[in-house]
Structure formats: structure tokens, C-alpha cells
Amino acid sequence: MSDRIYLVLLGAPGAGKGTQAQLLEEKLGIPQVSTGEIFRYNLKNQTELGQLAQSYYDKGELVPDEVTIRMVEARLAEEDAAQGAILDGFPRNLIQAEALDEMTAAYGGIDVVPMFQLEDDVVTLRITGRRVCRNCDRVYHLTFNPPRGEKCDSCGGELYQRNDDKPETVQNRLYVYYKQTSPLIGYYFAKGLLEEVDGARSIEAMQKQLLERLASRNIKAAKSAVSA
């Protein structure tokens, strides 16, 4: 059996995936792999894949699954992901899910898929209060997880509200989620990998429940984290 751990976090935007992924990084010793962060890195550094993605943006077209898949595959091959990864925002559809299965097959595949359950009205409240560090991408919430001051607690960077988090875009984001990502619930349920997490709980309560779900899957690092 492989020692690598691969988690896929599912749930609507604002359900708490990003915050829990950050906390799990410390508990499990594996990195959060966010598609948003991957795209920003490739675009900023004008990598080959970044330039390819930019060419689609310039034409007003969606970036094909193949490009996204290649970016994620390259990220999972980096040294800090040698023991696995916490995937947040990938896969977004069945094509990407099947590609991820192929990427991780040699290491035992996906271990567990925590799914964060949350009502749409609460999702809206959470998204519109979100702020992100422009420098290190750390995520805060003005009500539920505020920074200590006006700047990022980790690096002192500027905090801003992403266009995707503004009220006028939230409903569209939910529509896209239900249309594209919801089929993944059935996909992973059929594989016996889904574990439901109550997204309406506090950050600490969600973390406790999540670690218990992971421990039930015999993920050793999670067991030690629960007992710590």
C-alpha cells in the first residue's frame, strides 16, 4: 500500500473547503493543491501552460480540460507533494475526475472525498464576506475568520475581495457548481469514497468532524492529529 494520501474536497463555493484545506496541510503534512493558485502561478510566471491558458483567455474562450489537467499533473509531481495532496477545486467535472484517477492510480488512487454540506443562503453569506491575501493567497472571512488587523496575518500582504466573491456573481457561481460539479457526487459515491461534513458548523467543529472522517478511513496522519 502506498504511503501517499490524496483527498478531494467537494462542496459549493463558500462551504469551507479552502479553510479546512489550509488546516489539513498542518495536520497531514501534505499541501493544498488549489486550481486557482495553480492558474495564478502559471499565468504570473508565463510558463508554457500559462501562456497556453492565456491564449484562450485572450480569445474569450474557456480553458480546455486538457490544459487544466496538465497543470494539476505538473503540480502533483513537485517535491512538496511527494506524500500526497489535498485537492481543492479539482476535479470540476467527470473528465477531470477520470484524469485524476489515472494520475494517482500508481499510488492507490484517491483515499477519501469529504463533501461539505451547506444551504445556499449560508453559502452566499460566506462568499461575500471572504477576503484573500494578494501576496500569499491566504483566505479570511470578515465575520467567521477575520485577520487580526487590516493586513494578512501570515505575510502582511494586502487583503482584497475577489470578483468571484462579489454578491452579483455568487448566484452564477452556484449555478455553475450545481451544473458541472454535482455529478462528481454520484461518481465518488459509487466508488465508496464520499464522507459528508456539516459545513454549517464552526471552523473548529468542522475540523474535528473532518479528522474523525479521515481517521475512519485509516489515514494514519489523521489519527495522530485527532489524538494530539
Active-site residue, from 92, 151, 201, 223: 92
Instruction: Reply yes or no on whether 40 is catalytic.
Output: no
pLDDT averaged over every residue in the chain: 91
Instruction: Reply yes or no on whether 17 is catalytic.
Output: yes
CA 82 – CA 112 distance, rounded (Å) = 18
pLDDT in tens, 77-88: 999 999 999 999
Instruction: Reply yes or no on whether 70 is catalytic.
Output: no
53-84 as b/e: b if 16+ CB within 10 A: beeeeeeeeebebebbbbbbeebbeeeebebb
Instruction: Reply yes or no on whether 220 is catalytic.
Output: no
pTM beyond 0.85: no
Q: Which CATH architecture has domain 5-218?
A: 3-Layer(aba) Sandwich (3.40)
Query: Could you tell me if 22 and 124 are in contact, meaning their C-beta atoms sit under 8 angstroms apart?
Result: no
pLDDT in tens, 150-159: 999 999 999 9
Instruction: Reply yes or no on whether 179 is catalytic.
Output: no
Q: What is the mean pLDDT of residues 53-58?
A: 93
Domains in the chain: boundaries: 5-218
Active-site residue, from 162, 201, 217, 223: 162
Q: In terms of DSSP H, where are the helices of 80-202?
A: 94-104, 120-128, 167-176, 183-190
Query: Could you tell me if 12 and 120 are in contact, meaning their C-beta atoms sit under 8 angstroms apart?
Result: yes
Residue 11 β-bridge partners: 116
Give the residue among 31, 33, 53, 56 at the shortest CA–CA distance from 42.
53
